[in-house]
A and B are shown apart, each in its own frame.
Chain A
Amino acid sequence: DVKVTQSSRYLVKRTGEKVFLECVQDMDHENMFWYRQDPGLGLRLIYFSYDVKMKEKGDIPEGYSVSREKKERFSLILESASTNQTSMYLCASSRGQLSYEQYFGPGTRLTVT
């Protein structure tokens, strides 16, 4: 089975802190994604990566950056956390250019106080 793991299930940070969210997949997938999930808004794409060191902005990249130094790992970075970044963050991966199924991690619930 594909497994996508995220470094933390729950995280509490203070305004202005730098925050790292880590995601690891074990199925050699080319594509990796970071979403945030908010009630009533569904999932919104923050960034995605289709190869090592490659990244593309999603729909809401402001305030975030990403890093993909190895194929299996995709990190989301909040340079200076703000309260409006309190959310559930979901990582996903998929295979190849025409992959239709994304595999999700369990999510990290981040609270910024």
Chain B
Amino acid sequence: AQSVAQPEDQVNVAEGNPLTVKCTYSVSGNPYLFWYVQYPNRGLQFLLKYITGDNLVKGSYGFEAEFNKSQTSFHLKKPSALVSDSALYFCAVRESSSASKIIFGSGTRLSIRP
């Protein structure tokens, strides 16, 4: 069965520093991976996806994610964090038995201090 793991419940970063939010996955077949973000009191928003091709995927708000097949990881990154990046981040993987379904990780709360 497909699954994703987010090993950190919380990540704290100073504004202006680079940030990384970790995600590892387990899939049968080719992985289809996603990152979503949830700002306070709002629904989830799509950030980026990896389907195939370049291992470095660029998304919204300056975020990018690096797909690493050998380490089965899909870490979210940003070169310079902003206070406004503080939010809850979810990694997700497509369910292989149903192309429409995706499975979400437990979430990582990112806190950027001024």
A binding-site residues for B, Cβ under 8 Å: 4, 31, 33, 35, 40-45, 48, 50, 56, 58, 90, 92, 94, 97-107
Contacts and interface: CB of A to CB of B under 8 A. Distances in A.
A42 to B, nearest CB: 4
Contact of B105 (A31, A42, A100, A107): A42
B9 A100 contact: no
Interface of B: 6, 9, 32, 34, 36, 41-46, 49, 51, 90, 94, 98-107
Contacts of A92: 44
27 contacts: A35-B104, A40-B9, A40-B107, A42-B6, A42-B90, A42-B104, A42-B105, A42-B106, A43-B104, A45-B101, A45-B103, A48-B101, A58-B101, A90-B43, A90-B44, A92-B44, A94-B100, A97-B99, A99-B99, A100-B32, A100-B51, A100-B102, A102-B102, A104-B43, A104-B44, A106-B41, A107-B43
A100 B102 CA distance: 8
B52 to A, nearest CB: 11
Contacts of A35: 104
A65 to B, nearest CB: 19
A90 B38 CA distance: 12
Nearest to B100: A31
Nearest to A44: B104
B15 to A, nearest CB: 26
Q: Which 5 A-B pairs have the closest CB atoms?
A: A104-B43, A43-B104, A42-B106, A104-B44, A42-B104
